Amino acid sequence: MMAPLFLTDDELVTLTGRKFKGRQIEWLRTSGIPFRVNATGHPVVTRGAIAGQQEAQPAPQRWTPRVTGV
């Protein structure tokens, strides 16, 4: 069975040492851990953010010159 994508509420309490969402958000910001705030105002942290993985972003396109025949 795969682990859930997001940390549970209990895991957030363990990670931050804080029970209240406002204090958790404050701790996550000062610690530099990426998170989002959901519609209920609770922080949502992906397991990848804790494991050191960055959120998937498309690879930048490399510029290649157009070569014309001589």
pLDDT in tens, 4-32: 899 999 999 999 999 999 999 999 999 99
Count Cβ atoms within 10 A of the Cβ of residue 5 and give its class: 0-12 exposed, 13-18 middle, 19 or more buried.
exposed
Does residue 48 carry a pLDDT above 70?
A: yes
- 8 A C-beta contact, residue 19 and residue 13: yes
Q: What percent of the chain shows pLDDT beyond 90?
A: 64
pLDDT score of 15: 96
pLDDT score of 30: 96
Phi, psi of 46 (to 5 degrees): -80, 155
Count Cβ atoms within 10 A of the Cβ of residue 45 and give its class: 0-12 exposed, 13-18 middle, 19 or more buried.
buried
pLDDT score of 67: 79
Q: What percent of the chain shows pLDDT beyond 70?
A: 84
Domain definitions of the chain by residue range: 9-51
Does residue 63 carry a pLDDT above 70?
A: yes
